[in-house]
Each structure stands twice: as structure tokens, then as C-alpha cells.
Structure 1
Amino acid sequence: MTTPPYKLAVEDLTVVFGHGKRARTVLHGVSLGVRAGQTLGLVGESGSGKSTIATAIVGVHPVRAGRVTLDGEDLTGLRGGRLAAVRRRVQLVSQDPYASLNPRMTVGQAIAEAVDPVRADASKHASAVKRWLETVALDGSAAQRYPHEFSGGQRQRIAVARALAVEPEVIIADEITSALDASVQAEVLNLLEELRRSLSLTMLFISHDLAVVRHVSDEVAVLRQGEVVEHGPVRDVYRTLQHPYTRRLLASVPTFEEKEQPA
């Protein structure tokens, strides 16, 4: 998968869990990519391997075969400081913001740690902390409080602020709205779209919800049992529905308005 050029791509990616007789292949030669400044929606049922792709990209799960590239550079072979530097360019926001935030740290400390992992001083980085909180529509005073003092939607905004504080080029949003009610979900989705445009971010948006994916994405990839069965511009995929699995997924969700496209 070399053309067209992608900001972030996985090529023939295979991930295996376990060893010996207990080994289970979770991803079977997956290839997909997202162009700079765009959002790729990755959709599939629970257990299809969506989150495994996310964790493989950031190096949590080892890759059995294939590669992950950022601006054409193979990340799977990097080590040490070079790998750490590249990983800061790609930030993962997970489904459970409470689990990703240290409950013993104030929000300010958590964001300061992202700004400067060596000297995570909330007072030293107070202006940066305030700026990132305000970027996600939270008051700067939130820096003095702890994660448990916020609602689920607010915690998700904090997790986004923490990811942004690293000043990444790519955000991977893994089911980040699935636990939110409809009104809060819409607020977070609108925020992500605004941030993508204002900060020139590239985004991999992972969800089981086809309606959400269609609303926020420029392109979409459909994953079934560890294999990509559709990949292309969102309009093309949703209009042609080549694979019966995609048709079944689409039939299971309510009708929704198509995402507006630039003229």
C-alpha cells in the first residue's frame, strides 16, 4: 500500500496473541492508511481487531509480520530514544478515560506530565495546562481537581487534552464516545472535528457505530474478524456496500444524514 501516500499506514499487519497451541491470529495481513489532515474511520463489530490495530500502532502489542509507517518511516524496527520520539507524534485516546488518567494526580499534573515527562510540574507548566484545558472547552480551574470529580464526558475531554499536550501529529481515538449518552457524544464528536481542523491533525477514529463513523470520517475501513473487507472514501463505501458484512452492519443502525463534503 504505497500509493496514494499516507500519513499513517499499516501494511500487511499480522498480530498473534499467545504461543504454541494457544496462539491465536487476531489480525490477518491488514493494510489501511489515513492521509494527512484527514480522518479514517475504522469500523467493525466487537472482537474484530479494531483496538488491536490501535495498540499495535503505538507499540503495545508486538507485530508478527508487516509494518507500521509514519510518513513512510517504518516504526516497527525502531528502538530506544528514536522510538520514544516517534511515539510522541502518535497519541492514543482510549475508551475509558478514567483508566488512562492516574487517580492520584490532579488534572493539571496529568497534563503537565504530557507536556514535559521529565519535569512534570503543574505549576511550572500552568499556562500550557490552562491552554489545553480551554482547547477542549474546560475551564482552567479544572487543573486543581482529580479525575473522579468529573463526569464521563468531561474526563474524555481531559484525556483528549492530555493527548494534545504532547503536540502530536496523529490522534487515534479508540471508541471514545461509546460510553457516553447521545448529547454528550455529539459534543465530543464536534470537538474532535474542530480540533482536527484547527490543529491540522490526522485522525484514526475507531468505533463499532457506523452512523458515528460516517459522520466524522473522510474515508472508512471495515474490519471483519481481523481482515479489512472495505476501504475507501466514505461516500463510495456507503453507496456501493460491496461486502455483505458491511451491508449487514449498515442495516443494523438507524438512517442518518450524510456527512457534508467540501464543494
Structure 2
Amino acid sequence: MALPLLPLSDDFAVALGLKKSDPPGGDIPEGQEFTRWRIVRMFMFQNEETPGEHQDMVWARFCAEYLPATVDRLLNHLPVPWDADESIYHERDMKSADDFAACNPWLEMLVQIQNTLYLGKYLRSNKPIAAEGKRLAQVLAERVAAVGTRWDAKIRTASTNQEREFYKDTAAKAVQLLATVCTHFINERDRTRVISKETQVKLAMIPGVWGKRYEDQFLGDVSERMIWFMAGFGDEMFNQMRRMYKNWEVCGLESCQVRKGLKACGKCQTARYVSCIIFL
């Protein structure tokens, strides 16, 4: 696979198996999932090195074209990885079905774009193309509950600080995305319609432990958010976060802080700008 110097939204889609490469020959075979993961992470790193406006353009275009397919792949069509390097602890450990389901390239992509306007719009949409978004919190919660105890043991017994931080970061990504998705359903008074009571019971112990043990650390922060959500607390905080995700109060251009006279983008009807003729 020839790698682009400056990956765009279509390059991410090809790497994630959501689009066929053009010209042919650049697709990653199914099963080579750790190869896929490395490439997606490299693309993310490359994109982070570009100006903010370029990053926004890449993520916006990816969401516009590939967000539903990303969620569908994450929920319904996860491949089985067979190319794990047994000498690398995290590839050796993350190749199991439960671990790979809880953290994988498609989940990392959603983590990357979770603060964009488009994820929230997708989750709130009642259109058929967005139907899987209503299941996302439940499935993510089930997967974190399935691996949380094992990941916690890995964190506590890691032989090196690098290994410990890897598992903390992996856990934080999974819980953070779950908390972000739940934030968009904060107006649902019956939280069991977002995450079933049975799953909440299985899940609660894990973020409860992490929230206390890693207080003032990122894993602790996102774990506390999940505890508050399931307990029905923190509505003011969640509503503030939801407004931030919508980003309706400030111009959508990163370099612009204008808050008055904003108009919806004529293409996506989601982002708002000082001038309606500016498009991402």
C-alpha cells in the first residue's frame, strides 16, 4: 500500500476498509488488522502536524461521507485480526475478540472525531442511515464491561511503565468515547434506555474503581463522567459539554472567534460560520 504524504478523508476511509482504493491495489486485506491500526494511527499523527483548518476539513469530510459506515463496521462487522506480532505485548494481548472489540481502528477513529459537530448530529438524527447510532452507547458499554476487569489487572501488574500507560490509555479511549456518546443522550431521563440496567450493573464497578484510583488523571475523569451519567447526576455539566459539541455559539473556523451573525453551512447545515458562503 503506497502511503500518501498528506492523508485526506478518503485515505482514512481506504485504510479503514470503508472504501476501495483508487487506483486498485492499495487495500489492506481483511485480517491484517494490526497493520491497519498502525497505518490509521500514522495517518492521525500526520494530520495532527497540519494546520487546524486542514485537520477540520479532513475530519468534516470524513464524517460527511463515512461516519455511518464507521459505526456500522464497529458494531456489526469487526474482522478477526490474525497478524498480531507476538513479541509486542499489546498486539499479543489485544488480538482476542473481546479486547479487539473494545478498542480497534474504527473506535479510535470515532475517538478522533468525537468532538466534531457531526457525531452529535448523527446520534440525534432519526433518519434510517443514523439508526445504528442509537445502539452505540449500549454496545460500547457491553464491550467495556466485558474487558474492564482484565484491563484493570493489566494496568496494576504491568512490568513496565510503558505497558501500564498503554493500558490506561486504551481504557481511557474506550470510556471517553462511551461518555461522549452518552452526553448526547443527556435529555433521556430514563438512562436505561441508553444503557440497559443489566449492563450498567456490570459496568459500574470498573469506572468506579478507575474514578477513585486515577483521580485527577484522564482515565479517572472520563470514568467519573460515566458514573455520573448512570447515576443521573451532573446534568448541568453534561449540558455544557453537549453545547460545546454542537459548537453553535462560535464560528466554525478554528482561527475565528466571532459569536454573532453566524449562519449554517449551506452544505452540511451543521457547522456555523460568519458567512454562509464558507464551506468545509
Give the structure, 1 or 2, with the largest relative contact order (CA under 8 Å, sep 6 or more).
1
Select the structure that is richer in helix: 2
Same fold (TM over 0.5): no
Give the TM-score normalised by the residue count of structure 1: 0.28
